[in-house]
Amino acid sequence: METLDDVLRYLTLVAFILLAVVGSWQWIKRRDAPTKWLALTFLSIGLVSVAALFTPEGDRSGAIEWLVRAEILLLIFFPYLLFRFTATFGGVSRRTELLASGLIGVVAVWTLLLPEIPAGGEERPTSFLYFTYAIIIMWTLLSSIVTWRLWRAGRGQSPLARRRMRLLSLASALLSVAILISGAAPGDGSGPAQIVIRVIALLSVFTFYFGFSTPTGLRAAWRRPSEEALRRAVSKLMAAETEEQIAHAWFPHVTDIVAAKAVIAMRNDGTIIGSHGVDAEMLAELTRVLDEGRDTGSNIVHLTFPFGTMTVWASPYTPFFGHDEVELIESLGTLANLAFERVHTVELKQQLSRAQMRRQQALEINDNVVQGLTVAKLAFDLGDREKAMRALQETLVSARGIITRLLQDLEETDQIKPGQLVRESAASVGKRGASEA
């Protein structure tokens, strides 16, 4: 049993050290507030694990005692730093923050003022027992807040984000259970209770890892429903023929992928392409924020594309836990941009085709008029007035037919306005003008 306990002890210490390394690496890559607090959380317990490798178990003299105090300080800051991680997403009352800060402050000062810290196997004095109970109360309270907030907030998230949040919630609960058992276990640090504590602590490390830095294969499995929604959206986008059809095919799937409340797309000139679930208040607030150049907030995902911007009202947890889904909707936005380009290209081709047709009609009018006037002039020159009048009449009829078809085409494309090309009444022609004509 002693050999098993030693193996579990070293495995747990190494696991916590590796977790600290992973957390620090994620902070270097992402540089956001949630990652910073979570990296500090894992770093605190990782440093405790490193120090524990060099701390003699039966020695509490001189510098060793202060090293143990430093380990205890780092350890008690673990639940507080984890609490600060959840607080970055908002929703924590001022009273709760003061309570958490007060608890960690009291226990930290108490750690420094402890008269003595017993070594493993020594009898625990009453003062140290009270100190142990204070740590258990503080740890349990802060971990309960973290566990409850992460588990509850995961209900409205996408599948990947929900599972990651609840894994962190479960890991926090597991470590609290280990601390509770440790406080109730005998002070000699051996026996079945100690093995149970180490097993639970080791499980919590793996749970923290899978929640914080989920492996690629597991991410892919949990992201499958979102990818199915992406595929459905792509199929509809490829079949869309107008901007309205693109919006209808695009927005509902965006909200499905990231479990968002609303989404809106705007052109670069500020006009709205389309929206889904956006009310007037949300739009007014977004306009104010963008005009003032302020941060849109952690619950709003703002993406930029060649056609303009897409704004998604999601959860404050989405940018951190749902980063993969944000990348999916960004890919979907890129595909939507291609769909817009395709629609605009088709419209441009249609406009060019209509322009070519009108040019051809204008050429026909010109040819008919020139030909008819030439025939009429020759007839007048030869003295055949009747043939000249007939040539003029046929020219006018042919030109009138071509112009009528042109006007009908313009009316069908809604590019002609009343009175733009057609006179409301016939022009008056004087007696001299009529005879000359």
Is the residue at 350 inside a domain? yes
- pLDDT at position 89, please? 86
- For the chain, give the percent of residues with pLDDT over 90: 11
The CATH code of the domain that includes 35 is 1.20.1070.10
User: Which of the pair, 386 or 334, is modelled with greater confidence?
Assistant: 334
Is the residue at 384 inside a domain? yes
Q: How confident is the model at residue 147 (pLDDT cuts 50, 70, 90)?
A: very high
Is the residue at 429 inside a domain? no
Q: Is the pLDDT of residue 298 over 50?
A: yes
pLDDT tens, position by position, 377-432: 777 777 777 777 777 777 777 767 766 766 666 555 544 444 444 434 433 333 33
Asked if residue 131 and residue 26 are part of one domain, the reply reads yes
User: Which of the pair, 241 or 206, is modelled with greater confidence?
Assistant: 206
Is the residue at 434 inside a domain? no
- pLDDT at position 346, please? 78
- pLDDT at position 190, please? 59
| Structural domain count, the chain | 3
Q: Is the pLDDT of residue 83 over 90?
A: yes
Q: Of 320, 339, 358, which closes a domain?
A: 339
Asked if residue 313 and residue 416 are part of one domain, the reply reads no
Asked if residue 284 and residue 199 are part of one domain, the reply reads no
Asked if residue 213 and residue 74 are part of one domain, the reply reads yes
Q: Is the pLDDT of residue 30 over 70?
A: yes
- pLDDT at position 296, please? 58
Q: Is the pLDDT of residue 118 over 90?
A: no
Q: Is the pLDDT of residue 365 over 70?
A: no
What is the residue-averaged pLDDT of the chain? Answer: 78
Q: What is the pTM of this model?
A: 0.73
Asked if residue 165 and residue 67 are part of one domain, the reply reads yes
Q: How confident is the model at residue 14 (pLDDT cuts 50, 70, 90)?
A: confident
Q: Is the pLDDT of residue 116 over 80?
A: no
User: Which of the pair, 253 or 121, is modelled with greater confidence?
Assistant: 253
The CATH code of the domain that includes 237 is 3.30.450.40
pLDDT tens, position by position, 346-355: 778 877 877 7
Q: Of 295, 311, 339, which closes a domain?
A: 339
361, burial (CB in 10 Å: exposed 0-12, middle 13-18, buried 19+): middle
Is the residue at 176 inside a domain? yes
User: Which of the pair, 257 or 358, is modelled with greater confidence?
Assistant: 257
pLDDT tens, position by position, 85-112: 999 888 888 899 999 999 999 999 988 8
Q: Of 316, 339, 362, which closes a domain?
A: 339
Asked if residue 211 and residue 200 are part of one domain, the reply reads yes
Q: Is the pLDDT of residue 1 over 60?
A: no
- pLDDT at position 419, please? 42
Is the residue at 248 inside a domain? yes
Q: How confident is the model at residue 80 (pLDDT cuts 50, 70, 90)?
A: very high
Asked if residue 171 and residue 287 are part of one domain, the reply reads no
Asked if residue 378 and residue 242 are part of one domain, the reply reads no
Q: Is the pLDDT of residue 334 over 70?
A: yes
7-11, 63-67, 146-150, 384-388: lowest mean pLDDT where? 384-388
Asked if residue 153 and residue 42 are part of one domain, the reply reads yes
Asked if residue 18 and residue 91 are part of one domain, the reply reads yes
User: Which of the pair, 79 or 187, is modelled with greater confidence?
Assistant: 79
Is the residue at 156 inside a domain? yes
Q: Which residues, in sequence order, are bridge partners of residue 357?
A: none
**Mean pLDDT, residues 300-304:** 81
Asked if residue 169 and residue 58 are part of one domain, the reply reads yes
- pLDDT at position 146, please? 92
Query: Looking up tokens 């897409």, which residue turns up?
Result: 310
Asked if residue 304 and residue 356 are part of one domain, the reply reads no
- pLDDT at position 144, please? 92
Domain that residue 274 falls in: 224-339
pLDDT tens, position by position, 261-277: 888 888 888 788 877 87
Is the residue at 435 inside a domain? no
Q: Is the pLDDT of residue 148 over 90?
A: yes
- pLDDT at position 431, please? 39
